[in-house]
Structure 1
Amino acid sequence: MPDEGPVRTILRMRAREGCVEAFEAAWRVAAEEISRTQGSLRQELIRDADDPQTFLIVSDWRDQEALDAFGPSAAREQLTAALRDLRESGEKNTYEVLSTVVGRGPGIRVRVTVTVPQGEEAAYEKAYRKVAERMRGTPGHVREELLREPGTGTYHIFAEWLDEASFEAWTDDQSHLDQTAPLIQYICENFERATYHIVARPQESPQPGGGVVQAAPRPQPVARVEPVAAKPAAPSAERSTVDSSTDVLVVGAGPAGLTAAIELARRGVPCRLVEKRPDAAGTADKAIGVQCRTMEIWENLGIVREAMDAGIWLHGQTVFVNGRQTHQVDWDLPDLPYAHVGLPQYETENILTKCLAGHGVRVERGTELKEFTQDADGVTAYLVGADGRAETVRAQYLVGADGAHSTVRQKLGLTFEGGMGMFPQLFMLGDVDLDWSMPEGHLLRFIHVEDDEMKGMLVCVPLKGRNRYRVATLAPPRLQAEIGSNPIPPGFQAEYDPPSLADIQVVLDELAPEPTTASNLRWSSIFRIKHGIVDRYRQGRAFVVGDAAHLHPPAGGQGMNTGIQDAWNLGWKLALACGGDAAPALLDSYEAERRPAGKAIVDRAVKIAFTDEMDMDDEREQFLLEMQMTLSYAGSPLVGAHGDAFDGGPQPGDRAPDAHDLRRFGVGHPTRLFELTRGTAHTLLVHADGATPQDEYAGFDKLAEKVRGFVNIYVLASPDADVPAGLDVPVLRDASGTFRAAYGLRGTGAYLIRPDGHVGFRTSPVAAEALDAHLAGIFALGGTDSFHQGGNA
């Protein structure tokens, strides 16, 4: 037989009675070794459909020489020895491979890239082999290989699928988590995925000395087709169409949409907030954690007292792994303005709705966005109201806060990076009473780990009321079996029977470390969410915020809090733009700042969902990270600095910390720094001390004259500063040095605090020209030497 081409050996073997499973296991162990042999192309085990004891062992080799070399090898002996006592008979045939047709159609390639920490390479490769074995026989899955960049911890998985539909069907099937579980801890961070269409496979070409080689196809990225803004027909309705206009149309009245509307309304910007749901939520069916940073935002909005009165303080977190307590962290950090609050989302929405009404805007419920188009001057939207009346609305800008099923996102053609539903999960949630002796006010997390894989998890978050908790856990086998592999959209599922008290009790019996009984089930649901982040946060005059932009697993309450911060960042920028006071690139900074933050938070939330949450040595630092207190916009085009006379302090883009014991003449009590920065304007904080010369104070007056009208300015003077009388700038004494210490000042300097509470610019010594240049990137210039005077103060 010619030896210049690939050859295939087929062994037909019949396993002994009762030895079928052992036969398969023995083959897998041996095949793993054989696959590493020089010249081995493929090892495959096939079972006779009519006779489950009969197998075909298919082995492809580069050429006859490679097969001959395998004959006397240790790998062959391992295979022979492993199967000898498990089979009744066997026969062997070898064939020359003349031609191969692979798959059907051109197919697709999916590339997954991950960088693993140093020292974990062997564990990652072991986990990959386990997943690869589980992938065998997956419908539509053709082949894949693992590659490593030499000298690094970066790996690439190239997986070939018959078509995109097969791949998407697999990702939509929640059962695929069982296949990929060993890799989840590695793909929570530094994870990238791309899909390529195989557009051609070059013909096999002769090689020197005979044989053939098939050129590797060159993957072509799938082109993203931008939506064409063709004007749709206005929606039909029983009633006549009316026309109206506003500055900003906000779609979706969840926490993100409400926050966006409040930020616009309190600045006097005309806006409308429409919501498809006819009624406000009335059950604890969504997020229940309000983070420390969100509480600071609510203080600025004037609603923090309402939140404290309606919610419950969360005192800490306790983590159990396999029934053993591994962590107990106290969240009582006295240097933070507020702690973490447990508050059902329907209460959050109620508080925000009342706040918005106080600014003269009501939620238009039962009103649905059907279509919209954009042009250079604005957005034209087509709405249908609760009464069936169609309406055409003209707005300068559109904000899509319409959640996981966002119409705005769909109409803009935004896609999820790496696809949506990378690791879909089916959860059940319930609101119950638990009769246990766990620490009061602690978020409780129970994890069952087996063979380095998470087999079970239960999260219990305190609610207001004695021993009342929201429990979240993976759906039980009963519900998994009922739903099967049916695709489930994100969100709560009303079409399936809700979990019962007995379903929740089963999980408690398995995971809670002490006998616990659940009672008084008030509400429950099956919950499905796909996690990911869209490729863009802005297209033209339309923006997405909250779940319309990013989806999270239900861990840590990240989704709602992140959406609120999206709107908090966008609101003041949109207000300036609507008034004609924004610099040309100001609105671009929304995506530049919020999308990297959203990506980091999504990745973090995925990691929390699948691992022992306490993964940092510094528990305080981890808490601040989870609460988004250390989130920074460093690197944003909208932040900057001049000079280096600082001893620490917040960097440009960091959250501006509070400071206490500021004294103002005529005020009989200390003032907090947050009282100065509260409101809708930028705030310039100028520090002076005993070394500040008198002529520099005159410069402060000139600076105040220039920025007055769009920036509030204060001089914060140390106790030894010689402040001249008649200074035309408000002066407060930094009586205890708390401002100087918190902001790292060692002389004259200034911090510009943005309306969202982040440091926009800092300078030491104070450089008016550098500050002018920075402000020119925020505000529209009204002339050569002065800023536009119509800004929001």
Structure 2
Amino acid sequence: MDPVIVAGAGPVGLALALALARSEVPVILLDESQGGDEPRPARTVVLRPDTAALLERLGCRAADAAEPWTGWRTLRRRQVVRQLALAPDGVHPGSGHPDGRGGRPADEETEAAPPSPLHLPQHELTRALRAALAAVPGEDLVRIVRGTRVDTLEQDARGVTVHTRGAQSTWWRGGYLIGCDGPRSTVRKLLGVRFPGRTAVERHAVAALRAELPWPGEAVLHRSPPWRAADAEVLARPLPRGVWRLDWLLPPGRDLVTPEALLARVRDTLAGWCGDPALPHELLDTGVHTVHHRLARRWRVGRVFLAGDAAHLVGALGTQGLDEGLRDVGNLSWKLSLAWHHGATEALLDSYQAERRGAVGARLRAADQALPLARAAGGWHAVRRSVLPGAVRAHDALLTDGHLGRGPLGEPPVHDRSPLTPAAAPEGSVAVDTEIGALAADVPVTAPDGSLTRLWARLGREPLVVLVAPGTGVWDRRHWLRAGLMPRLAAAIAALPVGAELLVAEEYPGAPAHTVLLVRPDGHLVAALAGVRPAELYACVDAALGGRAGRGAAEGPAVEAEATARR
């Protein structure tokens, strides 16, 4: 089959090309740039544990770019609404030192928090992805074409043909095309796919600076700071190497944020927090970040798919758009790999849109519902509102968790209504602490060669079958494949319609001994069975792959008529 064409070399396009290449699928990566990435310290990304683990197993050392960063130790929130109740005249007790010069508020709350997800400048992540892609073995696996942009696409029953302009004005042939070319996606426009949603849901003035703030290694959210009546909140997040990112939520509207106004925000905020109007600092970068909420109507048209910002825009209340783009990569890459190597059913390829569009759509709805409540709790009109302290606390938690890459708005999705989920619970199913369709827990596991690793590190290529067997730590690993249930389970795996990897875990949350877990290549749990049940295991694998009986019809997936494809 022809290579897979990936249009766009941002973090999502690079990660997708890397994931396909690691699965030995040849890739043509069309990069509009010349391969250089402009350093923008104020443009940062937050990676949750599941997306950071995806990059790690692809060979991208994203964590290295964050060194010596190890995560926020604590989280501090300033409950401005509660202060307003004490001082309705707008003077905020506890808004600074006793003499009002700034610093930590007297009624500030400190919450213990687990280590935060990775937070690093986007250009450093892009650089790490490019380095990992360059290190992929095999000269013919990845071809990067720089300075080119798609301007025409055509597709038929066996592949996609695209024309590019720029450094190489020519035609390219691929088995599939994935548009990772950003919010103004040319691929999406050529398909005629609509991109409805809301513009400027939130706007933030942003600055990256190097300074010594009073909270090393801590993030601070300050609601309604007293020194700037026009700003609803100010957020400070530490970055690696002594750098801080500051975000000011801007009032509604499209008023221009001048460089002078942004510099004034920096000075006022540093003075308000530190009590020193001339606090030494080095301003590294500034900008205005505008959050849009949009969702493409279709994510698959024949052999063409959309991913990342080409398919969705999210970001209000701190939800992370790049996290969702990387989850697109994890979901789509194994399905395309299976299609390229073995053929795939229409159900499997269609499941990408069903699962990922459904998950992002639910996230957008949740953010849209929470946004008015969270902003009313401490926003521009907080003085004139009466809000229960408990509600205020919950809304602040939602905001802070979102900005830190935690909380419900950014959790990995649960594909409980996926077309790949078995229609009914198979006979012998057992309940575990992971819901069917949710991301499996990253427990320690033993591989067939006796090596100790973690479950998430084995994801990506083929389904995983995990036997929960307490006490395996004392087994002689030279003989463990011949012990207990292992021979029967190994035989059941050998009879599956595709290859699967057998792993053993000493324990899994909520799972009784001898539970057999079936985990998709992207980490989502398909089934939990009591003991070795070959027929049920086969049926669950078949369902998770979209029904392998229909594979022959998918050697050339049905492509809609050109007029339909361009709707």
Deviations 1:91-113 (A, max 9, x none): xxxxxxxxxxxxxxxxxxxxxxx
Question: Which of 329, 337, 340 is equivalent to 1:575?
Answer: 337
Is 2:244 the partner of 1:469?
yes
Report how many residues are paired.
487
The AA in structure 1 aligned to 2:77 is V
How far apart, in 2, do the equivalents of 1:596 and 1:748 lie?
34
Whether the 8 Å contact between 2:459 and 2:522 is mirrored in structure 1 is no
Is 2:456 the partner of 1:456?
no
3-state secondary structure, aligned to 1:377 = coil
Q: What residue in structure 1 maps to residue 72 of structure 2?
A: 314
Is 2:175 the partner of 1:396?
yes
Is 2:319 the partner of 1:540?
no
The AA in structure 1 aligned to 2:49 is C
Whether the 8 Å contact between 1:432 and 1:518 is mirrored in structure 2 is no
Once the 2 structures are TM-superposed, how far is the Cα of residue 401 of structure 1 from its aligned partner?
1.1
Once the 2 structures are TM-superposed, how far is the Cα of residue 435 of structure 1 from its aligned partner?
4.0
Q: CA RMSD in A?
A: 3.8
Q: What residue in structure 2 maps to residue 253 of structure 1?
A: 9
Q: What residue in structure 1 maps to residue 432 of structure 2?
A: 648
Q: Cα gap change, 1:326/1:586 in structure 2, threshold over 3 Å: closer, same or farther?
A: farther
TM-score normalised by the chain length of structure 1: 0.55
Deviations 1:11-60 (A, max 9, x none): xxxxxxxxxxxxxxxxxxxxxxxxxxxxxxxxxxxxxxxxxxxxxxxxxx
Question: Which of 410, 419, 424 is equivalent to 1:637?
Answer: 419
**How do 1:312-461 and structure 2 match up within 5 A?**
313-322=71-80, 323=95, 327-332=109-114, 339-359=116-136, 361=142, 363-386=144-167, 389-417=168-196, 419-421=197-199, 423-438=200-215, 440-448=216-224, 456-461=232-237
Q: What residue in structure 2 maps to residue 299 of structure 1?
A: 56
Q: In structure 1, list runs of 5 or more residues that go unmatched.
A: 1-244, 334-338, 484-495, 717-733, 789-793
Whether the 8 Å contact between 1:293 and 1:628 is mirrored in structure 2 is no
Q: Cα gap change, 1:248/1:390 in structure 2, threshold over 3 Å: closer, same or farther?
A: same
Q: What residue in structure 2 maps to residue 273 of structure 1?
A: 29
Mark the structure with the bigger radius of gyration: 1
3-state secondary structure, aligned to 1:402 = coil
Q: Cα gap change, 1:758/1:665 in structure 2, threshold over 3 Å: closer, same or farther?
A: closer
How far apart, in 2, do the equivalents of 1:782 and 1:276 lie?
38
Once the 2 structures are TM-superposed, how far is the Cα of residue 553 of structure 1 from its aligned partner?
3.3
The AA in structure 2 aligned to 1:429 is V
Whether the 8 Å contact between 2:319 and 2:410 is mirrored in structure 1 is no
**Structure with greater proportional helix content:** 2
Whether the 8 Å contact between 2:206 and 2:287 is mirrored in structure 1 is yes
3-state secondary structure, aligned to 1:328 = strand
How far apart, in 2, do the equivalents of 1:780 and 1:426 lie?
42
How far apart, in 1, do the equivalents of 2:267 and 2:360 lie?
35
How far apart, in 2, do the equivalents of 1:459 and 1:782 lie?
50
Q: What residue in structure 2 maps to residue 589 of structure 1?
A: 351
How far apart, in 2, do the equivalents of 1:574 and 1:581 lie?
9
3-state secondary structure, aligned to 1:770 = helix
Q: What residue in structure 1 maps to residue 516 of structure 2?
A: 750
Is 2:541 the partner of 1:762?
no
TM-score normalised by the chain length of structure 2: 0.75
Q: Cα gap change, 1:777/1:343 in structure 2, threshold over 3 Å: closer, same or farther?
A: same
How far apart, in 2, do the equivalents of 1:246 and 1:777 lie?
27
Q: Cα gap change, 1:319/1:514 in structure 2, threshold over 3 Å: closer, same or farther?
A: farther
How high is the sequence identity, in percent, across the aligned residues?
Answer: 26
Is 2:428 the partner of 1:657?
no
The AA in structure 2 aligned to 1:671 is L
Whether the 8 Å contact between 2:442 and 2:454 is mirrored in structure 1 is yes
Deviations 1:588-640 (A, max 9, x none): 11111111221233345554684669627999998753584553212212134
Q: Cα gap change, 1:637/1:449 in structure 2, threshold over 3 Å: closer, same or farther?
A: farther
Question: Which of 519, 523, 531 is equivalent to 2:285?
Answer: 523
The AA in structure 2 aligned to 1:524 is T
**Structure with greater proportional strand content:** 1
Q: Cα gap change, 1:663/1:599 in structure 2, threshold over 3 Å: closer, same or farther?
A: closer
Once the 2 structures are TM-superposed, how far is the Cα of residue 412 of structure 1 from its aligned partner?
2.2
Once the 2 structures are TM-superposed, how far is the Cα of residue 572 of structure 1 from its aligned partner?
0.7
Whether the 8 Å contact between 1:629 and 1:655 is mirrored in structure 2 is no
The AA in structure 1 aligned to 2:45 is I
Q: What residue in structure 2 maps to residue 699 of structure 1?
A: 488
Q: Which has the higher contact order (CA 8 A, sep 6+)?
A: 2
3-state secondary structure, aligned to 1:399 = strand
Whether the 8 Å contact between 2:420 and 2:546 is mirrored in structure 1 is no
Once the 2 structures are TM-superposed, how far is the Cα of residue 327 of structure 1 from its aligned partner?
4.6
Whether the 8 Å contact between 2:232 and 2:251 is mirrored in structure 1 is no
Q: Cα gap change, 1:709/1:376 in structure 2, threshold over 3 Å: closer, same or farther?
A: closer
Whether the 8 Å contact between 2:430 and 2:528 is mirrored in structure 1 is no
How far apart, in 1, do the equivalents of 2:211 and 2:468 lie?
53
How far apart, in 1, do the equivalents of 2:308 and 2:162 lie?
20
Once the 2 structures are TM-superposed, how far is the Cα of residue 287 of structure 1 from its aligned partner?
2.7
How far apart, in 2, do the equivalents of 1:498 and 1:758 lie?
49
Q: What residue in structure 2 maps to residue 106 of structure 1?
A: none
Q: Cα gap change, 1:574/1:326 in structure 2, threshold over 3 Å: closer, same or farther?
A: farther
How far apart, in 2, do the equivalents of 1:502 and 1:454 lie?
12
**How do 1:662-701 and structure 2 match up within 5 A?**
671-674=452-455, 677-688=458-469, 698-701=487-490
Whether the 8 Å contact between 1:645 and 1:746 is mirrored in structure 2 is no
Once the 2 structures are TM-superposed, how far is the Cα of residue 700 of structure 1 from its aligned partner?
1.9
Question: Which of 500, 514, 529 is equivalent to 1:711?
Answer: 500
